[in-house]
Amino acid sequence: MKLTQITETPVWKSIFRHKFEDTPRNRSLAVTSNVFLHLHPIKVDRDAIKFRFTFCLGGLSLFMFIVETITGVLLMLYYRPVPEYAYLDIKLLEHTVLFGMFLRNMHRWAAHAMVILVMLHMLRVFLTGSYKPPREFNWVVGVMLLVITLLLSFTGYLLPWDQIAFWAITVGSKMAAATPFLGVDGPFHEFFHITDMNDMKYLLLGDSDVGGNALLRFYVLHCVILPLASVLLIFVHFWRIRKDGGISRPL
Ligand code: HEM
């Protein structure tokens, strides 16, 4: 079978679409304008891919995110986000499921590693001046990714529903109550008639104290909302690197 028998079909043409005549130059254009055929940039500066310039810290952050996604989905098979079962499910996972303890520890250690790696990556970007024009917007996207990484860590902390989780989130949510204007214990809260039933802490916990509502809210944030937001921003982050002319060069 000839290759043209495939490339001339309407299905192929609807995916790999280009409206130019079929010359060698235009064939390469069809490749470079297609996201699947062209995940890698056309040219890469030799200095920019030196290991000692990036230490691969961004790539390692991404790797940890992937490890978290895979182990997290597996953990979801054994965990129910209700006060009656949450703690018990973690204990059952550790002691009755094959490789359960390994799975849980992998998720926990990769989470710690991700927080550290993202911070080191940010430090590298700062020290090499890579936040300067034209990369300012990508720095801002990066800051959002840092905040989301920390929020993933914070929301995941409550899920084992043990003593340390319960009291850590009690302290954390009291900090939310101290938000200026929007927290019941914060300065100027009278400005918007804020009470303990409509402040930042209530928004975070779904209640005025840590309980079943908070557990469910943190679970949905941890397993759905924050990971989806991360994936979206990671795509924007990588797309921006390409649009900003690739990774910045060493001076
Ligand atoms: C989930 C978190 C993050 C992931 C997965 C990620 C991933 C990456 C990757 C793979 C690169 C390519 C170069 C490299 O590996 O160092 C990169 C570059 C970059 N990142 Fe991140 N990043 C994250 C967070 C951040 C943060 C927190 C900042 C700063 C606030 C940031 C700012 C930048 C900038 C400005 C560049 C371009 C650097 C250059 O051109 O040299 N990123 N990121």
Q: Are residues 31 and 50 in the same domain?
A: no
Cα 58 to ligand 1 centroid, rounded to whole Å:
5
| Domain coverage including residue 156 | 45-243
**60 CB near ligand 1 (under 6 Å):** no
Q: Is the pTM of this model over 0.85?
A: yes
Residue 172 lies in a domain: yes
Q: Are residues 165 and 101 in the same domain?
A: yes
Residue 250 lies in a domain: no
Cα 122 to ligand 1 centroid, rounded to whole Å:
7
**74 CB near ligand 1 (under 6 Å):** no
Closest-CA residue, ligand 1 atom 13, reads 58
Q: Are residues 56 and 163 in the same domain?
A: yes
Residue 153 near residue 111 (C-beta atoms within 8 A) = yes
Q: Are residues 214 and 228 in the same domain?
A: yes
The number of distinct structural domains making up the chain is: 2
Chain centroid to Cα 251, Å, comes to: 30
Residue 77 lies in a domain: yes
Q: Are residues 115 and 29 in the same domain?
A: no
Closest-CA residue, ligand 1 atom 29, reads 142
Q: Are residues 23 and 90 in the same domain?
A: no
What is the gyration radius of the CA atoms in the chain, in angstroms? 24
Closest-CA residue, ligand 1 atom 43, reads 58
pLDDT tops 90 at residue 26: no
pLDDT tops 80 at residue 37: no
From 18-27, 77-86, 216-225, 230-239, the region with the lowest mean pLDDT = 18-27
pLDDT higher at 35 or 171: 171
The angle at the Cα of 53, spanning 142 to 126, to the nearest 5 degrees, equals 40
**135 CB near ligand 1 (under 6 Å):** yes
Cα 139 to ligand 1 centroid, rounded to whole Å:
8
pLDDT tops 80 at residue 170: yes
Query: Mind listing the pLDDT tens digit for each residue in 102-122?
Result: 999 999 999 999 999 999 999
Closest-CA residue, ligand 1 atom 35, reads 139
pLDDT at 251: 61
Query: Mind listing the pLDDT tens digit for each residue in 42-62?
Result: 778 888 888 999 999 999 999
How far apart (Å, rounded) are the C-alpha atoms in residues 119 and 109?
A: 16
Q: How many residues are given for the chain?
A: 251
Measured from the Cα of 241, ligand 1's closest atom is: 37
Q: Which of 117, 112, 139 is nearest to 128 (CA)?
A: 139
**179 CB near ligand 1 (under 6 Å):** no
